[in-house]
Amino acid sequence: MKIGILGGTFNPIHIGHLILAEEVREKLGLDKVIFVPTYLPPHKEVLGIAQAQARLTMVKLAIEGNHYFSVSDKEIKRDGRSYTIDTIREFKKEYPQDELYFIIGSDLLKYLEDWKDLHEVAKLAKFIAGTRPGYPLEEIPSYIDTVAIRAVDVSGFQIRECIKQSRSFRYLVPEAVYKYITENRLYED
For the cut 60, the answer to whether the pLDDT of residue 68 exceeds it is yes
Whole-prediction pTM value?
Answer: 0.93
Q: Alpha-carbon distance 188 to 165, whole Å?
A: 8
Each residue's pLDDT tens digit, 105-160: 887 888 888 889 999 999 999 999 998 666 667 778 888 899 988 878 899 999 99
Each residue's pLDDT tens digit, 142-156: 888 999 888 788 999
Closest CA to 17 of 82, 66, 53, 81: 66
Extents of the domains making up the chain: 2-152
Each residue's pLDDT tens digit, 92-102: 999 999 999 99
Order of strands across the sheet that contains 69-71: 69-71, 32-37, 2-8, 99-105, 126-130, 144-147
Question: Helix, strand, coil: what percent of the chain each, to 5?
Answer: 40, 20, 40
The rounded mean pLDDT for the chain is 91
With bands split at pLDDT 50, 70 and 90, how would you rate the model's confidence at 43?
low
Domain 2-152: CATH superfamily, name plus number: HUPs (3.40.50.620)
- Specify the pLDDT at position 152: 85
